[in-house]
Amino acid sequence: MPFEDRRRLMSGLDVAFMTAREPFADSALNWYKDVGYFAERLGVQLALPPEERTGLLGRFAGLKEADPESAHLSDDMFATVAVSLFGAGAVSTSAFLTLAVLALLQRPELIGYLREHPERMGRAVDELLRWNLSVGDGLPRIALADVRVGDVLVKEGELVLVLLEGANFDPAAFEHPEELDLERESPNAHLAFGAGRHFCPASALGRAHAEIALEVLVERLPGLRLAVPAENLVWRTGFIKRLPERLPVAW
């Protein structure tokens, strides 16, 4: 995507990933505005010779022309996939980085530790992924059959709200799960990227984004600190991710 379009695209995601019991005014208008944008960008790729096409939309253009199984797919369908991938990646990455920075700022010694041990950044990112309570709501699931979860019998057809972060703080899986331990040596089998058929296809890219961003941050801004007490932060409501509305900092 053109870098200069970033603000327009990100502002659309602030509406696209809101949560509400009922549809709200202009939510569909906001979504289809972004679908239209990506359909337009797909058209740009389709107009180029195959050897000059780039990025995901360039791949989509090739599929649309060369793959018989994709011939029935419209530009809007491809654009919808692009919007979903872009939105999920941008919102998840920005939310993680906000919460990771907040966690580090509340423990300034950890910033010094990461500056002195940059080789530990990969493990630190995994621990911050485990630690962050980033999902704003429980994931709704319908039981397809009677199943016992602990001492509770969930009957076929019943609704269950699954809290992924509960698993990330399971003492049976993590030693001292309440501690943010950047030196954690045991396997960090967190569920920040989901699991099974719902495992995030961009997990490697997400980790790379996180490692690069945090490496640059701790190196260039070692004196970064919260400009207000953490308890004064205002948290966003009605959004798919748990986020402070603002994160005021000084350096």
The tokens for 25 are: 């005014």
This prediction's pTM: 0.83
Could you report the per-residue pLDDT of 173-231, keeping only the tens digit for each? 898 999 999 988 877 888 888 888 888 888 888 899 999 999 999 999 989 999 999 99
The predicted structure's pLDDT at residue 150: 86
Those residues of the chain that have pLDDT short of 50 are: none
pLDDT score for 37: 94
Quote the DSSP letter at residue 18. B
- Cα–Cα distance between 152 and 167 in angstroms, integer? 17
* HSE of 64, CA atoms in CB hemisphere, 13 A: 21
pLDDT for the residue numbered 70: 76
Question: To which residue do tokens 């980085």 refer?
Answer: 97
